[in-house]
Amino acid sequence: MPSPGVPAPPRSSLEDSYLELLTDTLETLDLPARGQFLQRYLRAVTHLDLRESQCLQLWEEIITRRKQLSEALHRTVSLKTALMDVFSTAGLLRVPVLIEYDELKKLNLNAVTDSLTELYNRRVFNEFFERELNRAKRYNQPLGLVMMDMHRFKEVNDKHGHPRGDEVLRMAAATLKKALRTSDFAFRIGGDEFALVLPQTDAPQSLALSRRVETVFADSIKSLQLNVTVGMDYGVANYPQDGDNADDLVRIADERLYQRKHAHRGRPAETPAPRPAETAPAQPPVAPPVAERPATTPAPPPISIESKRPPEKQEEAAPPTTPSGQPEGSKLSSVPKPPRTFTIPRKAERVSMTGTNAYAVLGEQGARRAKVLDLGFGGVALELDSAEGLTENILAVLHVPILPPVRVNLKPVWTQRTNLGYRVGCTFVN
């Protein structure tokens, strides 16, 4: 508490407090990091392009000038005052410009983001992708890159106008934000072009995420009731199998994107284009062998993980026959069984979770934990220490790299003993 008769010192403004905190923080940084930060900060404040060495020298002059002014005036002088004095004396601020701090923050935000979609822009993409690629090389981790753009987007602008086209772009950005993990990043790099950087993500996971984005966007865009069928095309490239530098990975992803776009041309609008072979990963995920399932247990129906609804109708599979053409008996035959056919085809292959930390928490209280071996739109395969206690309906929360935590109901349909415990195949139930 100040003494009676002595005026209280003036309270520091929010900006002065910020600069004081900035000074303390800079003292903890090494010279290269301090120079980079000061270069960006002084550019934002003064709109001057200064060298890092010049910024370090000016900052030392600001600290010294502040001390000199405080001693001469017998009171504490703010860093802002010292900064303006140094820059004006040096002739760097010929026409000083004052700007509100909130406006400065808005300028900084606009410099790195796209105002329409609020995604990071192309400049940030170039810097971020290069940095994540170096990190992947250093720690020997996979890295996924997905290049995307809108199919038939120009027709939306031509038929519905640019404001409706902006709605489509915002919906695409919302789809990307919803589908990505917290470690993934989305960028708008052009008019209707987007890019995804997926750290610690291999080729099957990158492809599965891209297909999920495509499916979710196709469902979301229906609410706009457009006369044009708009879709999201994608091309996937992965480090290390597709390349070890940013230019090669971007080029490969672009090539696969345009191969996919070319597959759309000449097809009716309501017919989805087939996926070209070039977009498939080097080692595509495969479903568990038929021999792993008991002969008497039917395969689970394909249930969508987005809608969690089974197909309305499923065709009965033709009974397997022997080489003589007679129906097969109860014993397994050496002749491979024909695959089951469905009225609604599977939307995507079963994705192997081997090598990831995917797991499932089972039960209402989450007292039991299982490893996720693979995942598809129809169901999931789990690995447990014991098969005891499994009920007909299991409440589970799935934690997998390509999705946020998903709450599902599972029905075990087959169990197999393995060297590590029990492999349990489950189907999603409504």
* Amino acid in position 45: V
Report the amino acid identity of residue 260: R
User: By C-alpha distance, which of 349, 338, 407, 357 is closest to 378?
Assistant: 349
Give the integer Cα–Cα distance in Å for 173 and 187: 9
Mean pLDDT, residues 353-374 taken together: 83
Q: Which of 167, 183, 255, 171 is nearest to 213 (CA)?
A: 171
d(CA 234, CA 64): 55
CATH of domain 122-279: 3.30.70.270
Average confidence score pLDDT of the chain: 76
Answer yes or no: is pLDDT of 424 > 70.
yes
% pLDDT > 90, the chain: 17
- Total residues belonging to the chain: 430
**Tens of pLDDT, residues 185-213:** 999 998 889 999 999 999 999 999 998 88
Summarised one tens digit per residue, pLDDT across range 84-112 is: 888 878 777 765 565 666 776 777 777 78
**Domain residues of the chain, as ranges?**
14-108, 122-279, 292-314+344-429
- Over residues 36-50, the mean pLDDT reads 83
* 86 touches 67 (CB < 8 A): no
> Of residues 342 and 218, which shows the higher confidence score?
218
Q: Which of 95-99, 286-290, 324-328, 414-418 has the lowest mean pLDDT?
A: 286-290
CA max distance for the chain: 113
Arithmetic mean of pLDDT, 180-184: 84
Fold observed for domain 292-314+344-429:
Thrombin, subunit H (2.40.10)
Token pair for 223 = 């609410």
Residue 283 pLDDT: 43
Q: Which residue has the tokens 């060298």?
A: 51
Helix (H, G, I), strand (E, B) or coil at 374: strand
Predicted pLDDT of residue 147: 94
* Between residues 242 and 48, the one the model is more confident about: 242
pLDDT value for 178? 84
Helix axes 153-160, 162-179, angle to 10 degrees: 140
| 369-391 pLDDT per residue, tens | 899 888 877 788 999 888 888 88
One-letter amino acid for residue 322 of the chain: T
pLDDT in tens, 290-325: 444 444 444 444 444 444 444 444 444 444 544 444
Question: Do 360 and 398 meet the contact criterion of CB atoms below 8 Å apart?
Answer: yes
Which of 17-31, 88-102, 386-400 has maximum average pLDDT?
A: 386-400
